Structure 1
Amino acid sequence: MPLNILRFHVRNHDVDLNRHPALGASADFLKVLRSFSMARKCDLKKCKRWFGTEDTSSIQQHLLQHSDTDRRAQGEIIKNIGYDPVTADIVCPICDQHFSRFPQFLLHLENHHLTTEAVYWFSFKGDITPDDKSITQYMWRGWHCMDGGSEECYCRHCGDYASSQTNTWIDHHLGFLSMADDIKAARACILRLIPAFEDHPIYEADMPTVHRIV
Structure 2
Amino acid sequence: MTQPTPPGQPGYPYGQGGADPYGQGGAQQPYGQPGYGYPQQPQQPQPYGQQPQQPYAPFPQQQGFQPPYTVPAPPAPSRDNVGLGIVVAVVTALVAAGIYGGVIGATEHEIGWAAVGVGFVVGLATGKVGGRNPALAVISAALSLGAVYLGQLVGAAMIAADKLNIGFSEIFFDHFDLLQKGWKEDADAMTFVFFAIAAIAAFGGAKRAGQ
State the TM-score, normalized to the length of structure 2.
0.21
Larger helix share, 1 or 2:
2
Larger strand share, 1 or 2:
1
